[in-house]
Chains A and B, each alone.
Chain A
């Protein structure tokens, strides 16, 4: 397939996945800051929670440049609607649609309708917003729900309707690389509340922090099914890093990444550094245990992973998607 087409498919998936993550993390945080302060010492200082959301979504610097004070209204506005924030939910949907539009041939009609429909719906929200400056609270909730729905809808349509060929494999790679990045980022921002020493026997005030993390990656129910016990911070880390049955865990993402890169390698009759690099990351995860991760330092582990993951994105781009040079094997 055309390198540019593969590149766009890859990014459509990434943007839709990212939009979903942003919507979830905003909602989870709203819940958290809505609690009385005694339930969460962390939220004593105004803005703290919203600071970490900005960090986790990679928007902290851009937000600082805007010069606005960190508070719920400003951060949500920036993350959800700001045109100047390259990764705002609205830009994710707009970019996904623009990418999709440039390669409509490669998407199924169902996928295009989903993304195009989402774009028109977004326009409706923006219009409502332009009347009053900001969305009313209930409209905002509807908006965040809509984003998650749109993302699921797109993903489901891709799964149900795409031919199982390289176009599908590149779209899946986009999903899992973005998802691994999102999961790792929220762990990176919240690692301090997951360290074992923060546990207080008999329940912790950090409980709500942990559930917020789980909610942000839609893993709260999954946690209970997997562990069947009260929420322990190291188990939250275990679930999100090493549990293969958890679809957002880092290891599950890499299981898929390796699988789809192998499919591409087989179809094209040759492997490259993308396959090698992905397999190396996957093997490291497979050989890890929660104990070992904590011993080596959760923070260091996660930081290392984020770097490895974004490196993989670059390698895939160089190997398959880059237009500037002559692709491999020409």
Chain B
């Protein structure tokens, strides 16, 4: 248990009393014989190994394929809580798409002075030469993963937006499959929203952005190959989607059109779900050394002959500096307040903030603006004096590269260990899909858990584990209707009212449907 500080616990709340969503789980935990969890966990691990759901660790020669530890106690969210989350997620992802359409288009938000130009242009993920290049249907973030933490009974905060190539959805799906097999008794007691239709929803999203309008697009998933850390997920998704899993060498561009090499010759590709970073996508345009990409694919994209999901340059919207402007961005485009809160953030590029951050390093979390995976960050309260001092030097050298946030009291969740059940900090990454047919949020997500006592770092590359995430019907509420696909939220019909006017009317730049 966390020692000096009390954290909101997903099961027991502020203390003592079991929360409604967890009543039956608490009973289940109490009723099982001692060796039950160890046995079931063994089963689960065996299943994960058998299906080969592993991730690769870079720079780790001995264990190139590792299992992410799976905890068999699910993380439960009540549907009434989820609805609020879902609302906020839809708003947020619409904002990301609108923002990107704008900065790669008319740049109203910059001209209105809401987001400083240098803020956008100094971001290495912002691709200047993509300004004025239309994305098919003006959607760029087709798949978003929004990292969320909970701090108390009412408040969720967005920690980070992932608008590039967010991963982890295969764990959401496989965790559920494994959970249903190792703890069927628990499912008998709950109405858990299914997540298994995610691939169906993803395929619908991808097909909807077909640039040819033929109604029969050929979709392919582009992977860097089997040595990529998320390769398992790539092959898993391609399989579930029923699309070809292609590598760069399988694709060839001719006459500004993308083809894949098949046993029957070349076949045209219309929609590419790429899991390769921008920098490696096209050696003609970006990194000429890249062996992973497809020479000429950007020509095909510019010519409007292929849709690429996620679009090019989406990193301009999800870095930690732009994050701090999200309230302004949402207000500017939609005339609304941000529904899902941002964590208070100090931008070190601003002198006052920087001074504050340097003064309070021992209580702040400092992150690189473009860092990811939990690398390049300082968790002040857990760092040694030397670590803090060397980090302070880094901040002074390049303040614009850092932001700082208070150490949040992340909620905890009961987690099984050989020594018994203990509380560990968790976060949540729900997945949000955007196509021409609307925005879909899959009811669930990936819950990551920091397995080390007291640790706040949940990244799998740094010893984090995962949990199955349940959205359950509130006991006193009628069960929700189950559709084939998650309900879509229409993309607001764009009443483009001109950015600088400050009009409160819905302002959806370029989202035509």
Q: Interface of A with B (CB < 8 Å)? A: 1-6, 98, 101-105, 109, 112-113, 116-117, 120, 166, 170, 264, 268, 320-321, 323, 326-330
Q: Are B264 and A4 in contact (CB under 8 A)?
A: no
Q: Are B264 and A323 in contact (CB under 8 A)?
A: no
Q: Are B266 and A330 in contact (CB under 8 A)?
A: yes
Instruction: Fill in one digit per residue for B201-238: 1 if any A CB lies within 8 Å of its CB, else 0.
Output: 00000000000000000000000011000010001101
Q: Are A166 and B263 in contact (CB under 8 A)?
A: yes
Partner of B238 from A101, A105, A268 at Cβ < 8 Å: A105
Known: A105-B235, A105-B245. A6 touches B263 (CB 8 A): yes
Q: Are A112 and B250 in contact (CB under 8 A)?
A: no
B-side interface size class: 20 to 34
Partner of B266 from A98, A112, A326 at Cβ < 8 Å: A326
Query: Assuming A104-B52, A105-B238, A326-B266, what are 10 further A-B pairs, CB within 8 angstroms?
Result: A2-B244, A2-B261, A101-B52, A105-B244, A112-B52, A113-B51, A268-B263, A323-B261, A327-B262, A330-B266
Q: Are B239 and A116 in contact (CB under 8 A)?
A: no
B259: A residues at CB distance < 8 A: 330
B261: A residues at CB distance < 8 A: 2-4, 323, 326-327
Q: Are A2 and B249 in contact (CB under 8 A)?
A: no
Q: Is B260 an interface residue (CB 8 A)?
A: yes
SS class, residues of chain A in contact with chain B: helix
Q: Are B263 and A323 in contact (CB under 8 A)?
A: no
B247: A residues at CB distance < 8 A: 4
Q: Are B52 and A116 in contact (CB under 8 A)?
A: yes
Q: Is B265 an interface residue (CB 8 A)?
A: yes
Assembled-state Cα–Cα distance A109/B52 (Å) = 10
B238: A residues at CB distance < 8 A: 105
Partner of A105 from B52, B239, B263 at Cβ < 8 Å: B239
B51: A residues at CB distance < 8 A: 109, 112-113, 116
Q: Is B89 an interface residue (CB 8 A)?
A: no
Known: A2-B244, A105-B239. A327 touches B266 (CB 8 A): yes
Assembled-state Cα–Cα distance A171/B265 (Å) = 19
Q: Is B61 an interface residue (CB 8 A)?
A: no
Instruction: Fill in one digit per residue for B236-261: 1 if any A CB lies within 8 Å of its CB, else 0.
Output: 10110000111101101000000111
Assembled-state Cα–Cα distance A7/B266 (Å) = 16
Q: Are B250 and A4 in contact (CB under 8 A)?
A: yes
Q: Are A321 and B244 in contact (CB under 8 A)?
A: no
Q: Are A104 and B265 in contact (CB under 8 A)?
A: no
A170: B residues at CB distance < 8 A: 263
Assembled-state Cα–Cα distance A326/B261 (Å) = 7
Most B CB contacts (10 A, CB to CB) among A102, A103, A105 go to A105
Considering only CB atoms, which chain A residue lies closest to B221 in the complex? A105
19 contacts between A and B (CB under 8 A): A1-B263, A3-B261, A3-B262, A4-B249, A4-B250, A6-B263, A98-B226, A103-B245, A104-B239, A105-B239, A116-B52, A120-B49, A264-B263, A320-B263, A323-B261, A327-B263, A328-B265, A329-B265, A330-B265
